[in-house]
Amino acid sequence: MKIKPLVIGDLMARIPVMQGGMGVGVSLSGLAGAVAAEGGIGIISTAQIGYRDADFDKDPIGCNLRAIKAEIDKARRIANGGIIGVNIMVATKRYEEYVRAAALAGADLIVSGAGLPVDLPKYTEGSGTKLAPIVSSLKSVRVIMKYWMKKYERLPDAVVIEGPLAGGHLGFTKEQAEHPEDLRYDEEVKKILADVEKTGEAHHVHIPVIMAGGIYTREDMEHYLAMGISGVQMATRFVTTYECDAAEAYKQSYINARKEDIVIVQSPVGMPGRAILNPFMQKAKTGKIPHGQCHSCISTCNPSETPYCITDALVNAAVGRIEDALLFCGANAWRAEKLEHVKEIMEEFRP
């Protein structure tokens, strides 16, 4: 199969692979810069991106906003002219400020899901930053495109379809995520693709569609390219790389995981998610885990009722305190057998 570059407006990735955003602290400048340098699109997650700052407990949002520019700048130095974007969850508290900070810092692309990013164009007006909403259904992409055209007279620069095999928070019910085969999701992908193409043609623009969720090998990519998809997003495959920003112990948890260890959990912020079953998750099933002050992460979290603090649990994962961590992962994390370099992975997907 002939592999074409992934073109998003005036951006061109030689290899049609976008690395998925993974927070907290899993995809920062190191990983994103390395992927971009090899001809893909590197994505920095803004979720609690400033967690390493000494003032994080006192001013988490201030630390995060400062870290967005710092991490983009560091990634640029690694990327050798490659494409650097950010992933910002709609459910992030003070979402608008994060988006504006990323655009001001010169992010090439903003990928945004965990809610419908209906006002994303408003917050990036006047910037050259490309916009790519994440959708999981035909209904959601139609809502976004119709709203953006009506209110902002523009369409997405790209659309990311995130399927039920993805890691972290999911746009599906717990039951759907546990039995993804029942969804026959390729049929939904075809419908989304057709609708995006039709809308793009009506407005004389090309809107590339990028597939995410469960993509691990070149064969997986070629399956979707044959359907008409322009590129793929991979996250889990990049965790077990030397360049990934997370601690060695976090990477090793993927290598050690068996297929049966990967489960659907109920996140404390109200969404189902996919993670590795570990002592922490076993403990979380039995009752509340005490936590300290709120770190102002997700708007759907009620600190007084949450069974545990998701920021604490994800920071623990990033720094390697695995026994006290929420270990988000994709459905194929169990396939990891060893650490590898980003360059090796990108060679596998090279045209």
Per-residue pLDDT at 79 exceeds 90: yes
Retrieve residue 263's tokens: 């489960």
Cβ atoms of residues 100 and 122 within 8 Å: no
**Segments of 277-314 assigned E as strands:** none
Q: How far apart are CA 29 and CA 237, in angstroms?
A: 17
- Residue 290 is predicted with a pLDDT of 65
Q: Nearest-5° angle of CA 286, CA 287, CA 290?
A: 135
Question: Around 331, how many Cα atoms within 13 Å sit in the side-chain half-sphere?
Answer: 15
Q: Is the pTM of this model over 0.75?
A: yes
Q: What confidence tier does 93 reach under pLDDT thresholds 50, 70, 90?
A: confident
- What is the chain's mean pLDDT, rounded? 93
- Residue 228 is predicted with a pLDDT of 96
Cβ atoms of residues 92 and 47 within 8 Å: yes
**Among the listed residues 117, 116, 133, 160, the one whose alpha carbon sits nearest the alpha carbon of residue 19:** 160
Q: What confidence tier does 168 reach under pLDDT thresholds 50, 70, 90?
A: confident
- Per-residue model confidence as pLDDT tens digits over 197-245: 999 999 999 999 999 999 999 999 999 999 999 999 999 999 999 999 9
- Residue 109 is predicted with a pLDDT of 98
Cβ atoms of residues 154 and 117 within 8 Å: no
**Among the listed residues 258, 276, 256, 257, the one whose alpha carbon sits nearest the alpha carbon of residue 317:** 276
Is residue 131 helix, strand or coil? strand
Give me the percent of the chain exceeding a pLDDT of 70: 94
Give me the percent of the chain exceeding a pLDDT of 90: 78
Q: Nearest-5° angle of CA 138, CA 11, CA 166?
A: 40
DSSP per-residue string spanning 282-327: HHHHHS-----S----BTT--TTT-SS-HHHHHHHHHHT-GGG---
Q: What confidence tier does 299 reach under pLDDT thresholds 50, 70, 90?
A: low
CA distances 132 to 2, 20, 153, 210, 325, Å, are: 25, 12, 16, 9, 30
Q: How far apart are CA 133 and CA 117, in angstroms?
A: 7
Phi and psi at 212, nearest 5°, equal: -130, 150
Q: How far apart are CA 202 and CA 216, in angstroms?
A: 34
- Residue 291 is predicted with a pLDDT of 67
- Residue 300 is predicted with a pLDDT of 67
- Residue 173 is predicted with a pLDDT of 86
Q: Which amino acid is present at 104?
A: L
Per-residue pLDDT at 111 exceeds 70: yes
Cβ atoms of residues 341 and 243 within 8 Å: yes
Q: What confidence tier does 301 reach under pLDDT thresholds 50, 70, 90?
A: low
- Residue 213 is predicted with a pLDDT of 96
Q: How far apart are CA 272 and CA 103, in angstroms?
A: 30
Q: Where does residue 214 fall: left (phi above 0), alpha (psi -120 to 50 degrees), or beta otherwise?
A: left
- Per-residue model confidence as pLDDT tens digits over 245-283: 999 999 999 999 999 999 998 877 778 889 999 998 888
- Residue 312 is predicted with a pLDDT of 83
